[in-house]
Structure 1
Amino acid sequence: MADRALTLAPPADDGLALRYYAVPSRDGTVLQAWTNDVEGPTVLLCNGLGTNPYAWPSLLDPACGVRVVSWNHRGTGGSHRPVDREHVGIDAFAEDALAVMDHAGLDSAVLMGWSMGVNTMFEVAVRHPERVDGLFAVGGVPGDTFASMLAPLRVPRPVSKALTVGAARVAKVVGRGVTPWTTGLAVGPATLRALSHSGFMLPVADEELSRRAVREFLSTPVEWYAHLALHSSLHRRVSLRGIEVPTSFLAGRYDVLASSRDMRTAADRIPGAVYEELRATHFLPMERPHEVITALRALLARVG
């Protein structure tokens, strides 16, 4: 399938704080970056794999008081695929994070991650501690994420990793046949209502933005998303011994994609780290946006 051309969206005309712009990464891959252009301390968001700004209603509020810079992953949301199709995964995403920081003129910043983005932000923190002022992990663990999945179902870690990686391999094989259906799926109120009462996701705070988030997510071809996921599954758990910056973990009690227990044990290994658990699933930014922005502001206050 041909690469999607980089599409620079016009400024939002619906009251959202959102602006897109292009950033070249180190290997020449052009990323579709985005910012809310809000006055306040700057945070680099390492987003969930294949997700987009609309999953963060709290950060698209012009009154949120936090400036966010972020980007869409390679081959998703208007970002180009790399010439070397194998140059994806957490190492490549960490390069992209640094490219977005450099483009924004950030010598250092607080890093915020969601889901697989937590892997990315910890990888940056370990490799380039001088670039990191603080860490905020939302629904994610510092590596070996696929072994952390299915925890509420009490599936043993080795079995969980085998099942989830196997599912990604199947998705890559059947993706070309499934993609025309997923990209054409209408995400209306009934679809979102069914999803948010499935147990996989709980009711969301902003249904319109959540529908936009799901529609944009489904625009990525299934086989390419599976390709990204399989490479991301290779990322091992990082050592937390050298983490010395203020760190917070925000977990969902019913999260089947990132174990809250693994997040708590990671917090225990970082001196002074804060751990908070909400009655939520993996989709905390959409379900509990007020609590997310409140926890982020608390971390920023600790960073000072």
Structure 2
Amino acid sequence: MLDRMREHDVVATDGTRIRAWDTGVGPDVLLCTGLGALPGAWPAAGARVRGWHYRGTFGSARPDDPDRIAVDDHVADAVAVLDDAGVGRCVVAGWAMGVTVAAALALRHPERVSGLLLVAGAPGDAFAGAFGVPGVPESVRRALGVLSVSALRLAAPVLDGVLHRVPLAGSLGAVLRHDWAWYFTLSLALGRTPRFDLRPLTCPTTVLAGRYDPLAAASDVVGAAGSLPQARVRVVPNTHLLPVENPGLVVAELDALVRRAAAVREALLLTPRSPGAA
């Protein structure tokens, strides 16, 4: 698991104070974690992994405008983190709902993304993959997902009253001390993002799906990348916590993707350009 994190604050384009972090050494990798997941849940890799905590969580401030929590706001925060670190282009990884952010970053700023690792999540329309029981229509799954999270947001005061009193320290204690109403507000805003069409992507892409994932059906995770000829797709016997359950696989696939991205960059540098090329 990632450890010895260095944290500092970055100011987003709308003035929101974002808590950025980085750890490790090696090639730069930007990690878009799942909502509510701490970076420590991600396996240690031979890379300098960096990222940020979503607005209003784990030290990042809430925006003055509470509506500034759409996917474009998270993408802007990701770009601010890269700019602050002086990273022009790198491999980007997304886990769970972080897949939506990672995919949006690659589509909106392809010049910043050299490779894309999507783990246990679909690129938008996240609730459509919930309750992935065979035979349940996508529209029903989507409605159940939205209704479930909406109900949990209403129950947030009860969750706060119970979970905030659990005497746990460390990462798990920090997760339990969420402001749960805000967490479910973030989840609804990001989960309702429409499904992205990934066909414009040209960077090397790897997709990992959990066969037993109850929150992101493997068919949804894999289907979104089915149109990408450059995508490597694996369905493995894991759940939504794939990076925790199978860290060796995630590290191996990330390392391979970093090498693929570097090889593509080197090939492009060595390819002669036509006289009329800009």
Is TM-score (shorter-chain normalized) higher than 0.5? yes
**Equivalent residues in 2 for 1:1-304 (5 A)?**
16-36=3-23, 38-56=24-42, 58-59=43-44, 64-152=45-133, 154-186=135-167, 212-304=170-262
- More displaced, 110-119 or 231-240? 231-240
Cα distance in 2, alignment partners of residues 265 and 102 from structure 1: 32
| Alignment RMSD (CA, Å) | 1.6
Q: How many angstroms does 1:186 deviate by? A: 4.2
Going from structure 1 to structure 2, the CA distance change for 1:243 and 1:80 (only over 3 Å counts) comes to: same
Q: How many angstroms does 1:25 deviate by? A: 0.9
Query: Any idea what SS the aligned residue of 1:258 has?
Result: coil
User: Residues 133-159 of structure 1: CA distance to partner in whole angstroms, max 9, x if unpaired?
Assistant: 010001111111111111146432111
Cα distance in 1, alignment partners of residues 134 and 183 from structure 2: 24
1:4 aligns with: none
Q: Letter of the 1:121 partner, please give it.
A: A
The answer to whether the Cα contact below 8 Å between 1:152 and 1:254 also exists between their aligned partners in 2 is no
Cα distance in 1, alignment partners of residues 91 and 231 from structure 2: 14
The answer to whether the Cα contact below 8 Å between 1:139 and 1:255 also exists between their aligned partners in 2 is yes
Q: Letter of the 2:37 partner, please give it.
A: T
TM-score, structure 1 normalization: 0.82
Q: How many angstroms does 1:17 deviate by? A: 3.0
Question: 5+ residue gaps in structure 2?
Answer: 263-278
The answer to whether the Cα contact below 8 Å between 2:11 and 2:17 also exists between their aligned partners in 1 is yes
Q: How many angstroms does 1:16 deviate by? A: 2.8
Going from structure 1 to structure 2, the CA distance change for 1:282 and 1:154 (only over 3 Å counts) comes to: farther
Q: How many angstroms does 1:162 deviate by? A: 0.8
Cα distance in 2, alignment partners of residues 24 and 216 from structure 1: 23
Q: How many angstroms does 1:184 deviate by? A: 2.1
Going from structure 1 to structure 2, the CA distance change for 1:109 and 1:159 (only over 3 Å counts) comes to: same
Q: Letter of the 2:235 partner, please give it.
A: E
Cα distance in 2, alignment partners of residues 252 and 185 from structure 1: 30
Which segments of structure 1 move beyond 3 Å, counting only runs of 4 or more? 211-214
The answer to whether the Cα contact below 8 Å between 2:3 and 2:40 also exists between their aligned partners in 1 is no
The answer to whether the Cα contact below 8 Å between 2:197 and 2:224 also exists between their aligned partners in 1 is no
Q: How many angstroms does 1:216 deviate by? A: 2.3
Question: 5+ residue gaps in structure 1?
Answer: 1-14, 188-210
Identity of aligned residues (%): 39
